[in-house]
Amino acid sequence: MPENALEAVGLHRTFGSVRAVDDVSFTLPEGGSLGIVGESGSGKTTAARIVVGLERADAGEVRVRGQVRSARSRGRAQRLARAREVQMVFQDPYLSLDPRTSVEAVLRETLRLHFPGTDHDQRVRELLDQVGLGTRAAEARPRQLSGGQRQRVAIARALAVEPAVLVLDEAVAALDVSVQAQILNLLADIREQTSIGYLFITHDLGVVRCVTDDVIVMRKGRIVEAGPTAEVLAAPQHPYTRLLLESVPRPGWDPEAIAAARRAL
């Protein structure tokens, strides 16, 4: 049986009186892709941040390739090892890169930090190639790149350490439709070539359908529905999932009925 890339068991997190994450469990098989959908305030980002280690869980545990990710890591070596397990790509490619560092230098810095004492030329070329960036882009600074190219750099940087899990927090939401499609295709290609697992945080059901095998729907910190993406989208069981699906604009769309349904829920 293949090992799970990621398991989250009974995660809880409260901020004051708000239960941001309330008994959330999920598993991501090796090479799998799991979507977390929900509105702002549903707890999807907090859950993702707990997985990455940017947020602490009050209860519950996260396992990567069967190993428990301890709440606090001791020492530099352990911190780096933790970083190699899970990497994250953020929404805004304009904010997640240092404006003074060239693309190649970003990748070299990451490689030097995690794999010191080896020659990285080959790996840098490989990574640039993998995300579809040419040698001209390698010398560029972030401001000379388009939004789509910057997101490719962020993905290359995350892939550099060969993580088990890549957490993508609304990673294509800020991109134009035509560029978004390029990045979604790129992510599909990378998943085919490697055994990396994706945890895809998004509010866009079209994107979820396109890139995930399984999906969980969160509302007010709790999982209201979970299952294979195709099944959940074709036959949603929970009224909230149905509301989310009906809210997607399409011809013959009835925003008034949705507004009424939302108030009723």
Partner 1 sequence: MNPPMNAPMNPVPTLDIQGLHITLPGTARPVLDGVDLHVAAGETVALVGESGSGKTLTSRSALNLLPPGAVVDGAVRVSGQDVLTMNADQLRAVRTSTVAMIFQDPRAALNPLRRIGDFLTESVTLTRSMGQADATARATELLQAVGLDDSALHKYPGQVSGGMLQRVMIAAALMGDPVLLLADEPTTALDVTTQAEVIALLAELRERFGTGLLFVTHDLDLAAAISDRVYVMYAGRIVESGPAEVLFAQPRHPYTSALLASTPRLDAPQGRLAAIDGQPPDLRQELHGCPFAARCPLATEICDQQIPEALPAPGLPHHQAACHHTDRLEGSPVDA
Per CB under 8 A, which region of 66-74, 94-102, 162-170, 247-255 contacts partner 1?
A: 247-255
User: In sequence order, which residues have a C-beta less than 8 Å from that of residue 30 and are 6 or more positions away?
Assistant: 2, 3, 4, 5, 65, 164, 195, 197
Applying CB under 8 A, does 148 fall inside the site for partner 1? Answer: yes
- Interface residues for partner 1 in 5-44 (CB under 8 A)? 39-40
Among 207, 215, 216, 223, binds partner 1 (CB under 8 A): 207
Per CB under 8 A, which region of 1-9, 115-123, 161-169, 207-215 contacts partner 1?
A: 207-215
Among 47, 165, 199, 205, binds partner 1 (CB under 8 A): 205
Calpha distance 84→73 (Å, rounded)? 13
Applying CB under 8 A, does 256 fall inside the site for partner 1? Answer: yes
> 124 has which bridge partners?
none
> Which helix (DSSP H) or strand (DSSP E) does residue 42 occupy?
none
* Interface characters, 85-124, with partner 1 (x: CB under 8 A): ----------------------------------------
DSSP β-ladder status, 197-202 and 222-228:
unpaired
* Interface characters, 158-177, with partner 1 (x: CB under 8 A): ------------------xx
Q: What's 150's DSSP letter?
A: H
Of 66, 81, 54, nearest in space to 6 by CA: 66
Buried b (16+ CB within 10 A) or exposed e, 158-168: bbbbebbbbbb
Residues at the site binding partner 1, with contacts judged by CB under 8 A:
39-40, 146-148, 176-182, 184-185, 188, 203-207, 209-210, 230, 233, 243-245, 247-253, 255-256, 258-259, 262
